[in-house]
Chain A
């Protein structure tokens, strides 16, 4: 690599980096997960399916990727965005080479897992997408970078550009911005829902097609199941880590029920890997935006992520978690506890007999401990001491389980009784969301549907 590259314009690079990372910080999808790729001689980098966080910023959020905007110039005027065209801020852009050099140098030092490249819309969507493509091409083809790349698709860019970029990236995402079309219309007048969903669909279809692709672009052949002795060298895959999206929570008046319904349909219909929720932070002070005197709605964001986990890993459906009648989360109880309390007829559950999916629905039992229970009970009959060793949170689960037909204590299976005991145990919220009281103190009179504790 060229050593004098940065020396004469060090300052300008540092300045650009500071402006363009500052402008990118509200993007939440900083994960490097979803694809396992070994290193290759002659190139730099590999990827790990679980993802790695290399640092944690002062707000406690993980830094996994070099998260920057290519440019903070933008032709659009979305009311919630720090880079909206009517805002008076310093505008600057990187060149593809600058981004590629920074990525490689950071990557060599194990600062980052790869690149997260987004951009404001410069001139027009196609021009911007071309710049992003060029950066990725430089990294992949000339610098032989084999690490993780997450790139934003620019809504409105040409299909061909999106496709070309998809073959170079690990993950591609298009921001849904706001949960509903009405919200988008009111706050982002230059964007429309169709333009956002179209490339999403395109990526989904492209990803499915690349599973079957063997020869040229036009010829689609179903890959034979592993019957060949020698598998031919794999062709480049299209967006192997899948696509994600993010939406802003609390800028528009949607209910939690609407939001998780949207998330569920994105998982089902668009085969998304992740939906990210970002608590709204009022940076532009636009008159049409809500003011949030209590700070960003972090508890609500936390509850949405909890529900999201239930959708993805616990076999729940959105309609089980919330409903038209109780459209918002309970502030006091996590969504799973809440569900269990309104389905007491299913409990208690015999730990030594219940099937895996039933175990997953018990508060205090997670994916890991459910798996361990299933493995351990092959050779032993489990009692409460064993469950504790396997990582089950007994103080939550004792109301819902039996071991060899016995409950741990004589407990009434009655909603009021359990709630009273549950509320005594402090829920472990991440620092900053609840317990520490920095932003949001949990209170009985919170604004998020706490009127009836039990739905």
Chain B
């Protein structure tokens, strides 16, 4: 679905020169309504519950981060496309989506300069340097986030989450994933599901992400294969760890609802540009991301692994694409 969007946003030569023979590789179904702009509006709509939850929980810090990230992303898009001598494409809203996802993946306590640098790195290093929308290898928002996460580990890392001043008391606690990692404590499941816990601004509420994610899948803006495979893999591995450690289901729920899994599965991993094209490839991509998330959560120094998991799978996307080229009918093995 997504690849058609990239094709249909190019100006159609038919419009300018009258009827001509249109030669192009398949798919030949041409849907004029299915544009980049529409996809991006869908993503913004789908992010509304998560944004609402973020503003409810983190109040001003959420608002400031969202404004800063979206603003700087738009500005960087304008500046960097100018530097490359291209036409700025602000009205396809892709920079807004990048900024929004980036803001929602930041800790509420992150300093303002981290938001600014992350946004500039996301658009500059993550997107425009590869040639702009549709050309980037890695998810731009995650490139920006990784840049500041590694740079400012002291003020962005797991420990830094704990001093946010929100309206709910639990915000001053450790994030559920960090508490699990450091001391093996479990958060209340209903709180995890609704999102009344600490965490990155937009990731806390599994419910809000699920609502938006299902909307995206129904609209076919995101392909269902990636989140389904990703969540199923996490369920499988966390389930095995749960059974081995006799946690009675608490560990599985913690891994499913506690971190950025739902946010990552529905909004980050499904980026149509940096994920595989075929549906078999998408299943492999989702399963790989899920497995890497669990690997990082259980065996690395980080309490959460969605960002690095998605970035690593982005890196192998060209390989997955090559493995899963659909065979022409009649062609032998």
Partners in one complex: no
Measuring CB to CB, which residues of chain B are less than 8 angstroms from any residue of chain A? none
